[in-house]
Amino acid sequence: MCTVALIGADGAGKSTIGRRLEATLPLPTKYLYMGDNADSANQLLPTTRLVRLIRRAVGRRRGERRDAGPSAGAPPDASRVPARPRGVGGQLTATAKATYRLLNQLAEEWFRQALTWYYELRGYVVLFDRHFFADYYAHHIAPSAPGRTLAGRIHGFLLSHVYPKPDLVICLDAPAEVLFARKPEGTVEAIERRRREYFQIRPFVKHFAVVDVTQPEDAVTRAVAALIGEFCGSTAPRWPEKTDLA
Protein backbone atom coordinates (compact mmCIF):
# COMPACT_ATOMS: atom_id res chain seq x y z
CA MET A 1 0.00 0.00 0.00
CA CYS A 2 2.58 2.59 1.16
CA THR A 3 5.63 3.00 3.38
CA VAL A 4 5.93 5.49 6.24
CA ALA A 5 9.10 6.18 8.22
CA LEU A 6 9.09 7.63 11.74
CA ILE A 7 12.41 9.38 12.32
CA GLY A 8 13.78 11.64 15.04
CA ALA A 9 16.47 11.85 17.69
CA ASP A 10 16.52 9.55 20.71
CA GLY A 11 13.70 10.33 23.13
CA ALA A 12 11.21 11.30 20.42
CA GLY A 13 9.13 8.16 21.00
CA LYS A 14 9.48 6.48 17.60
CA SER A 15 9.12 2.92 18.87
CA THR A 16 6.30 3.73 21.28
CA ILE A 17 4.27 5.62 18.70
CA GLY A 18 5.02 3.05 16.00
CA ARG A 19 3.84 0.14 18.13
CA ARG A 20 0.68 2.01 19.13
CA LEU A 21 -0.12 2.81 15.52
CA GLU A 22 0.40 -0.78 14.40
CA ALA A 23 -2.31 -1.80 16.86
CA THR A 24 -4.73 1.10 16.34
CA LEU A 25 -4.57 2.35 12.74
CA PRO A 26 -7.76 1.56 10.79
CA LEU A 27 -5.52 0.33 7.95
CA PRO A 28 -3.68 -3.00 7.81
CA THR A 29 -0.28 -2.06 9.23
CA LYS A 30 3.06 -3.78 9.77
CA TYR A 31 5.68 -2.29 12.09
CA LEU A 32 9.29 -2.78 10.98
CA TYR A 33 12.40 -1.54 12.77
CA MET A 34 14.88 -0.09 10.24
CA GLY A 35 17.84 0.81 12.43
CA ASP A 36 21.14 -0.83 13.39
CA ASN A 37 20.37 -1.82 16.98
CA ALA A 38 19.80 -5.56 16.79
CA ASP A 39 18.31 -5.55 20.30
CA SER A 40 15.47 -3.33 19.03
CA ALA A 41 14.93 -5.14 15.71
CA ASN A 42 11.74 -7.14 15.34
CA GLN A 43 13.14 -8.84 12.21
CA LEU A 44 16.70 -10.11 11.76
CA LEU A 45 18.46 -12.40 9.32
CA PRO A 46 18.74 -15.93 10.77
CA THR A 47 22.52 -15.73 10.40
CA THR A 48 22.61 -12.53 12.45
CA ARG A 49 20.55 -14.18 15.19
CA LEU A 50 22.96 -17.14 15.23
CA VAL A 51 26.04 -14.90 15.48
CA ARG A 52 24.40 -12.93 18.30
CA LEU A 53 23.59 -16.12 20.22
CA ILE A 54 27.20 -17.31 19.90
CA ARG A 55 28.59 -13.94 21.01
CA ARG A 56 26.27 -13.83 24.01
CA ALA A 57 27.24 -17.36 25.02
CA VAL A 58 30.95 -16.50 24.76
CA GLY A 59 30.39 -13.23 26.63
CA ARG A 60 28.58 -15.00 29.48
CA ARG A 61 31.42 -17.48 29.85
CA ARG A 62 33.87 -14.58 30.05
CA GLY A 63 31.65 -12.58 32.37
CA GLU A 64 31.35 -9.73 29.84
CA ARG A 65 28.49 -7.21 29.64
CA ARG A 66 27.22 -5.94 26.30
CA ASP A 67 25.33 -2.74 26.83
CA ALA A 68 23.70 -0.99 23.89
CA GLY A 69 24.97 2.46 24.89
CA PRO A 70 23.66 5.83 23.76
CA SER A 71 22.09 6.15 20.31
CA ALA A 72 22.58 2.46 19.69
CA GLY A 73 20.27 2.40 16.69
CA ALA A 74 21.91 5.34 14.92
CA PRO A 75 25.32 5.73 13.23
CA PRO A 76 28.31 6.39 15.49
CA ASP A 77 29.18 9.92 16.50
CA ALA A 78 31.19 11.35 13.60
CA SER A 79 33.13 13.58 15.99
CA ARG A 80 34.87 10.54 17.45
CA VAL A 81 37.87 9.65 15.30
CA PRO A 82 38.81 5.95 15.52
CA ALA A 83 42.43 5.00 16.09
CA ARG A 84 44.35 4.06 12.96
CA PRO A 85 45.60 0.46 12.79
CA ARG A 86 49.34 -0.02 13.03
CA GLY A 87 51.40 -2.05 10.61
CA VAL A 88 50.42 -4.07 7.54
CA GLY A 89 48.82 -6.78 9.64
CA GLY A 90 46.69 -4.28 11.50
CA GLN A 91 45.59 -2.62 8.28
CA LEU A 92 44.66 -5.95 6.67
CA THR A 93 42.67 -6.93 9.75
CA ALA A 94 40.89 -3.58 9.78
CA THR A 95 40.05 -3.92 6.07
CA ALA A 96 38.68 -7.43 6.57
CA LYS A 97 36.52 -6.29 9.49
CA ALA A 98 35.23 -3.28 7.55
CA THR A 99 34.34 -5.49 4.59
CA TYR A 100 32.53 -7.97 6.83
CA ARG A 101 30.60 -5.19 8.57
CA LEU A 102 29.57 -3.66 5.23
CA LEU A 103 28.41 -6.97 3.75
CA ASN A 104 26.50 -7.86 6.90
CA GLN A 105 24.93 -4.39 7.01
CA LEU A 106 23.85 -4.58 3.38
CA ALA A 107 22.41 -8.05 3.88
CA GLU A 108 20.35 -6.86 6.85
CA GLU A 109 19.11 -3.76 5.03
CA TRP A 110 18.02 -5.65 1.94
CA PHE A 111 16.45 -8.43 4.00
CA ARG A 112 14.19 -5.85 5.66
CA GLN A 113 13.48 -4.21 2.31
CA ALA A 114 12.43 -7.60 0.93
CA LEU A 115 10.05 -7.93 3.88
CA THR A 116 8.72 -4.45 3.06
CA TRP A 117 7.93 -5.46 -0.52
CA TYR A 118 6.24 -8.63 0.73
CA TYR A 119 4.05 -6.69 3.16
CA GLU A 120 3.19 -4.08 0.53
CA LEU A 121 2.13 -6.77 -1.93
CA ARG A 122 -0.24 -8.08 0.75
CA GLY A 123 -1.84 -4.65 1.11
CA TYR A 124 -0.19 -3.40 4.31
CA VAL A 125 0.96 0.04 5.31
CA VAL A 126 4.58 -0.60 6.34
CA LEU A 127 5.48 1.60 9.29
CA PHE A 128 9.23 2.02 9.72
CA ASP A 129 10.81 2.80 13.08
CA ARG A 130 13.85 4.76 11.82
CA HIS A 131 15.14 4.39 8.28
CA PHE A 132 18.65 3.68 7.06
CA PHE A 133 18.65 6.55 4.55
CA ALA A 134 17.67 9.06 7.24
CA ASP A 135 20.08 7.67 9.82
CA TYR A 136 23.07 7.58 7.49
CA TYR A 137 22.51 10.60 5.25
CA ALA A 138 24.75 12.94 7.25
CA HIS A 139 27.39 10.24 7.78
CA HIS A 140 27.71 8.25 4.54
CA ILE A 141 25.81 10.25 1.88
CA ALA A 142 26.16 14.01 2.32
CA PRO A 143 29.17 15.50 0.48
CA SER A 144 30.07 17.31 3.70
CA ALA A 145 30.16 14.07 5.72
CA PRO A 146 33.48 14.06 7.65
CA GLY A 147 35.95 11.20 7.36
CA ARG A 148 33.98 8.88 5.08
CA THR A 149 35.74 5.56 4.57
CA LEU A 150 35.54 3.56 1.33
CA ALA A 151 32.98 1.27 2.96
CA GLY A 152 30.99 4.31 4.06
CA ARG A 153 31.04 5.75 0.54
CA ILE A 154 29.84 2.48 -0.97
CA HIS A 155 27.10 2.21 1.64
CA GLY A 156 26.08 5.82 1.07
CA PHE A 157 25.94 5.41 -2.71
CA LEU A 158 23.68 2.37 -2.44
CA LEU A 159 21.36 4.05 0.06
CA SER A 160 21.16 7.19 -2.06
CA HIS A 161 20.79 5.68 -5.53
CA VAL A 162 19.52 2.10 -5.13
CA TYR A 163 17.79 1.52 -1.79
CA PRO A 164 14.10 2.55 -1.88
CA LYS A 165 13.14 5.60 0.18
CA PRO A 166 9.91 5.77 2.20
CA ASP A 167 6.82 7.20 0.54
CA LEU A 168 6.24 9.42 3.57
CA VAL A 169 8.70 10.56 6.25
CA ILE A 170 7.36 11.85 9.56
CA CYS A 171 9.90 13.49 11.84
CA LEU A 172 8.99 13.35 15.53
CA ASP A 173 10.67 16.42 16.93
CA ALA A 174 11.15 18.41 20.12
CA PRO A 175 13.88 20.65 21.57
CA ALA A 176 17.04 18.73 22.45
CA GLU A 177 16.65 19.54 26.14
CA VAL A 178 13.21 17.89 26.16
CA LEU A 179 14.48 14.80 24.39
CA PHE A 180 17.47 14.50 26.72
CA ALA A 181 15.19 14.74 29.77
CA ARG A 182 13.16 11.83 28.40
CA LYS A 183 16.19 9.72 27.50
CA PRO A 184 19.32 11.02 29.26
CA GLU A 185 21.95 9.33 27.09
CA GLY A 186 24.85 11.14 25.45
CA THR A 187 24.68 14.94 25.65
CA VAL A 188 22.20 17.68 24.77
CA GLU A 189 24.66 18.87 22.10
CA ALA A 190 24.79 15.42 20.48
CA ILE A 191 21.00 15.18 20.44
CA GLU A 192 20.72 18.64 18.86
CA ARG A 193 23.23 17.63 16.21
CA ARG A 194 21.22 14.47 15.48
CA ARG A 195 17.99 16.48 15.26
CA ARG A 196 19.45 18.71 12.59
CA GLU A 197 20.91 15.77 10.69
CA TYR A 198 17.44 14.35 10.18
CA PHE A 199 16.17 17.60 8.69
CA GLN A 200 18.93 17.46 6.06
CA ILE A 201 17.03 14.75 4.16
CA ARG A 202 14.04 17.00 3.36
CA PRO A 203 15.13 17.82 -0.22
CA PHE A 204 15.61 14.11 -1.01
CA VAL A 205 12.23 12.66 -0.03
CA LYS A 206 8.96 13.53 -1.76
CA HIS A 207 6.82 13.91 1.35
CA PHE A 208 8.18 15.13 4.69
CA ALA A 209 6.14 16.20 7.74
CA VAL A 210 7.00 17.18 11.30
CA VAL A 211 5.04 16.35 14.44
CA ASP A 212 5.71 18.17 17.70
CA VAL A 213 6.26 15.53 20.39
CA THR A 214 6.14 17.96 23.28
CA GLN A 215 2.39 17.21 23.13
CA PRO A 216 0.90 14.36 25.19
CA GLU A 217 1.50 10.92 23.73
CA ASP A 218 -2.16 10.46 22.75
CA ALA A 219 -2.10 13.73 20.81
CA VAL A 220 1.11 12.75 19.01
CA THR A 221 -0.37 9.36 18.09
CA ARG A 222 -3.52 10.99 16.71
CA ALA A 223 -1.50 13.52 14.70
CA VAL A 224 0.70 10.84 13.13
CA ALA A 225 -2.32 8.61 12.46
CA ALA A 226 -4.08 11.48 10.70
CA LEU A 227 -1.06 12.09 8.44
CA ILE A 228 -0.80 8.42 7.54
CA GLY A 229 -4.52 8.05 6.95
CA GLU A 230 -4.66 11.10 4.70
CA PHE A 231 -1.53 10.18 2.78
CA CYS A 232 -2.33 6.51 2.21
CA GLY A 233 -5.89 7.36 1.22
CA SER A 234 -4.97 10.04 -1.31
CA THR A 235 -2.33 10.51 -3.97
CA ALA A 236 -2.45 14.27 -3.35
CA PRO A 237 -1.96 14.97 0.36
CA ARG A 238 -3.49 18.22 1.57
CA TRP A 239 -0.93 18.83 4.35
CA PRO A 240 2.37 20.66 3.67
CA GLU A 241 5.07 18.41 2.23
CA LYS A 242 7.94 20.42 3.72
CA THR A 243 8.18 22.02 7.14
CA ASP A 244 10.97 24.28 8.33
CA LEU A 245 13.02 23.34 11.38
CA ALA A 246 12.04 25.47 14.34
pLDDT tens string for the chain (246 positions)? Answer: 899 999 999 999 999 999 999 999 999 999 999 999 988 999 999 888 888 788 777 776 666 555 544 455 666 655 555 556 667 666 777 778 889 899 999 999 999 999 999 999 999 999 999 999 999 999 999 988 888 899 999 999 999 999 999 999 999 999 999 999 999 998 999 999 999 999 999 999 999 999 999 999 999 999 999 999 999 875 434 444 444 433
User: Which residue range forms the structural domain that includes residue 164?
Assistant: 2-36+101-232
What 8-state DSSP symbol labels residue 139?
I
**Would you say residue 240 lies in a domain?**
no
**Would you say residue 90 lies in a domain?**
no
CA distance 75 to 52: 19
**Would you say residue 217 lies in a domain?**
yes
Report the relative pairing of strands 2-7 and 29-33 from DSSP bridges. unpaired
Domain count of the chain? 1
Is residue 113 classed as helix, strand or coil in its secondary structure? helix
CA distance 190 to 9: 9
Instruction: Tell me the CATH number at 201.
Output: 3.40.50.300
CA distance 137 to 204: 10
**Would you say residue 20 lies in a domain?**
yes
**Would you say residue 48 lies in a domain?**
no
Name the residue among 99, 104, 103, 110 with its Cα closest to residue 34: 110
